[in-house]
Chain A
C-alpha cells in the first residue's frame, strides 16, 4: 500500500522560507509517476503548487513559480517543497500526493500538515 507522509515546521515567520518533505513508503519514487504538492488554506479550496517527475523534471503553478522549488531524493524515497518569501496568505494545510500522469489525477495523498505563517 502506497503511503505518503508530510513533515516540517508548523510555524514559519513572514518573509522566511517554508520547507516540507514528503516521505513515500510502499512504492519507489524512482520507478515512475509524478509527485506533487497541493495546499488548502483554512476553510478554502485546493490549489496545486507544483509537481516533479521521478526523473527530476519539475512543473510549477505559474502564480507561485517565482517562489517555489520542488526536488526529489530517490535515495531516501522523498521529495521536498521550498516556498520562499512567505506571507500570511501562505498559511494552509499542505498535502503531498502521487500524480498518475501529467495532467492526470492524484491517487494517493498524505494526511496533510498545517503550516502557519506568523511572527
Chain B
C-alpha cells in the first residue's frame, strides 16, 4: 500500500555520496506534510534518521541530511561507510488520514 516511491537500490563506494529520492503526490508531500526518514539494519526495527524534512535526532551523524521540494524529498548520505548498508524508508502523511511509507531503498556499500 506504499504511496511514496523510492528507488529499489542505490550503491556507492566508501567515502562517496549517495542520494535516495522519495516521490509522493499532491495529497501527501505536495500537500505540505513533512517527510521523515528511517534506517533499518538487517533484522532490526526501523530507527528514526531524519524528522521534519531535514532535522537529525540526537546521535545521528551529520553525514545524513534531508530535503524536500514540491511533491518529493531526498535523503543524502555523504562519506558513505560500511555501517550505512541498510534499508531506508521515507514516511509522510496523506490527506486520506493515513501515515504513508515509501517503498524502501536498499543501500549497498561497494
Interface, chain A (partner B; CB < 8 A): 36, 45-48, 51, 59, 61-63, 95, 100, 103-107, 109-112
Q: Is the Cβ of B48 less than 8 Å from the Cβ of A105?
A: yes
Q: Which chain A residue shows the least CB distance to B33?
A: A103
Bound state CA distance, A48 and B93, in angstroms? Answer: 10
Known: A59-B97, A62-B96. A45 touches B104 (CB 8 A): yes
Q: A residues within 8 A CB of B89? A: 45-46
Q: Is the Cβ of B34 less than 8 Å from the Cβ of A104?
A: yes
Q: Which one of A46, A63, A100, A111 contacts B101 once the chains associate, using CB atoms below 8 Å?
A: A46
How many chain B residues sit at the interface, stated as a range, is: 20 to 34
Known: A47-B1, A62-B96, A110-B45. A105 touches B103 (CB 8 A): no
11 further interface pairs, Cβ-Cβ under 8 Å (given A103-B93, A107-B48): A45-B2, A46-B38, A46-B91, A61-B99, A62-B96, A62-B97, A104-B36, A106-B46, A106-B91, A107-B51, A109-B46
Q: Is the Cβ of B36 less than 8 Å from the Cβ of A47?
A: no
Residue B70 CB within 8 A of the other chain: no
Identify which of residues 24-76 in chain B touch chain A, using a CB-to-CB cut-off of 8 Å: 33-34, 36, 38, 44-48, 51-52, 57
Measured CB to CB, the closest approach of chain B to A13, in angstroms, equals 24
Bound state CA distance, A61 and B34, in angstroms? Answer: 19
Q: Which chain A residue shows the least CB distance to B36?
A: A105
Q: A residues within 8 A CB of B46? A: 46, 95, 106, 109
Q: Is the Cβ of A106 less than 8 Å from the Cβ of B48?
A: yes
Bound state CA distance, A109 and B36, in angstroms? Answer: 14
Measured CB to CB, the closest approach of chain A to B41, in angstroms, equals 12
